[in-house]
Every structure is written in C-alpha cells, then in structure tokens.
Amino acid sequence: MTLGEPYLDVHPGNLVCRCALPDGSLAVVKTEPDRGSEDEFLSGIGAMVLYSGRGMVEVLDVDRSQRLVLMELVVPGQTLWREPIDRALEAVAYVMRCLHQPAPVRHTFPDVRTYHRAWPNHFRLYGGSGPIDADLFNRGERLFLELCDTSDESVVLHTDLHYGNVLSSMRLPWLAIDPKGLLGEPCYEVGAVFRNRVDELYEGPDPVRAMRRRVELLADLMGFDSERVRLWALAQSILSEIWTADNPSRAPEVDLRAARLLNEVGPLG
C-alpha cells in the first residue's frame, strides 16, 4: 500500500492514515501501541470483525500480531459534531440498533464491569475523591455497580459512541468507527453522547431542561427506560472524569458539567 498523510485527531500514540491499495482503491490503516492491561485495540478489532460492516466501518484485513487493521474509507465521512442535536441523536440510535448483538460462544471481550476499577484506583491515587465532587464520586460508584447488577442480557458494545465516532456514509446512512468492544447491556451504550456537546446546553436559558430533553429523546428512539438512560449516563460521566483526573497530563481538564446536569435532572419516568 501507499500511505497518505496521517489523521491528526487521534489518540496519542496511535497512527491512522489514508492509504492507496495496489488496485488503486482507497482505504484506512490503523495501528496502536500495546497498552498492556488497557488493550482495547484488540477487543475493538474483534468487535469490528463481529459487526461485519453492519453499522460499523468494514474490516478489509487485520494482523493482530503486528497490531494493524485495514479498513474501508468512509465517504463522505462527516461526523455528528455539527449536526443538529435531534438529527445527531437519531444517527447514534440508528448505529446502536445496527451494532448490538450477542457475543459468540468463544470470545475474549471483557465486561464493562471491569471499568469499576477506576474508583478504587482513583482513591489510591488521591486518598479521596480528589478534583471530583465527593458526592458525585461516591454516587457514581454506587450507581455503576447497581446498574451492572441489574443489567439485561449482555451484547457486544462499542462503549465510546460519541459524535465523532459516527460518520456519514454512502454505503449506509451512518457508520461507527473506533469501537472498544466490551460486553454489557444495550442501555450502557448511551453514555458517551451525554458527556459530549455539553457547551450547547448552556446556550439556552435552562441547561437542565435541555439535558432532560436529550435523555428522553434518545430513550424514545431506542425504546429504553428514560431513568435508566439517565443513570447510566450519570455514572459514565463521572467515570470519564475520573479517567481524566488520573492522567497527569489531563488532570486540570476535569469538567463535571455533564454529571452535574444529569444529577439535577432528577428521576424520570
């Protein structure tokens, strides 16, 4: 293949490039360094292969030993960052419905419950809640465990289905990229959309009401219980800020607005 210029907006250490194949067709190649126990690259490839192009960018070739995956080039490939929020949520819901399916009998997908380790790890690092609101830190852990304990049957999840990981496509209306590939109930998948595009919520007079509307709209689109959507979104918003706080280079970026709004929305349904 002939490599083109690398994409710039990727996780540090990753390399993602457009490329031309010997037959002249265009594709995308991605590689990522081994991150040890946090190796979501290989589980993500497993999810991409399982989805077989249904709501997901199609895998053309993969070499797990070399940590390389060759994928279709999604055209036109526009993200949902600038789409009107209703249309963006409809697109995310479309992708969710395409993706979710049970894991094969023999698989290596981790369970989302493994993410719970973030709370004790954070506590050991800071000796407490650190830059996270103490009430939210504690409530987030309780909620996360309670929701895991009461979850429906597990499916293979993307788990990072934010507005930048859903692209417009000519093959299907929308395609997802960059899955993490974990097992959890379908409702878990909603979390990423509520901790992103938060600035827009403050452009109107009532950001809490605007957040409530997003929760209720996505719940309706997916047929999920609106309160469970809110609670998963709240727990994961806190989890995301814990990960941010635990990264020395990003610790000053902790932003709890999404979690605070979801908490203020109060019980739904």
How far apart CA 254 and CA 245 sit, in angstroms, is 6
- Report CA-CA distances (Å) from 171 to 152, 174, 175, 176: 31, 8, 9, 12
pLDDT tens digits, residue range 213-265? 999 999 999 999 999 999 999 999 999 999 999 999 899 999 999 999 999 99
Whether the per-residue pLDDT at 140 is higher than 70: the answer is yes
Helices (H), the chain: 40-51, 85-99, 118-126, 134-149, 191-194, 207-222, 226-245, 257-265
| Full-model pTM | 0.95
Instruction: At 246, give phi and psi (nearest 5°).
Output: -85, -5
How far apart CA 219 and CA 230 sit, in angstroms, is 9
pLDDT band at 32 (very low <50, low <70, confident <90, very high): confident
Residue with tokens 């607005």: 257
Domains and CATH numbers, the chain: 2-72 (3.30.200.20), 85-265 (3.90.1200.10)
pLDDT of residue 116: 98
How far apart CA 174 and CA 93 sit, in angstroms, is 10
pLDDT band at 11 (very low <50, low <70, confident <90, very high): confident
Whether the per-residue pLDDT at 38 is higher than 70: the answer is no
At 261, the amino acid letter reads: L
Whether the per-residue pLDDT at 144 is higher than 90: the answer is yes
Whether the per-residue pLDDT at 37 is higher than 60: the answer is no
- Length of the chain (residues): 269
Q: Which residues contact 265 (CB under 8 A, 6 or more apart)?
A: 208, 211, 212, 215, 230
Q: Which residues contact 226 (CB under 8 A, 6 or more apart)?
A: 215, 216, 219, 220, 268, 269
Report the percent of the chain where pLDDT is more than 70. Answer: 99
pLDDT tens digits, residue range 147-195? 999 999 999 999 999 999 999 999 999 999 999 999 999 999 999 999 9
pLDDT of residue 266: 96
**Residue 172 CB-density burial (10 A; 0-12 exposed, 13-18 middle, 19+ buried):** middle
pLDDT of residue 210: 98
Average pLDDT across the chain, whole number: 95
- Report CA-CA distances (Å) from 198 to 14, 85, 262: 26, 11, 11
Report the percent of the chain where pLDDT is more than 90. Answer: 88
pLDDT of residue 13: 81
pLDDT tens digits, residue range 51-78? 999 999 999 999 988 999 999 999 999 9
Strand 15-20 relative to strand 2-6, pairing: antiparallel
Whether the per-residue pLDDT at 9 is higher than 90: the answer is no
pLDDT band at 269 (very low <50, low <70, confident <90, very high): confident
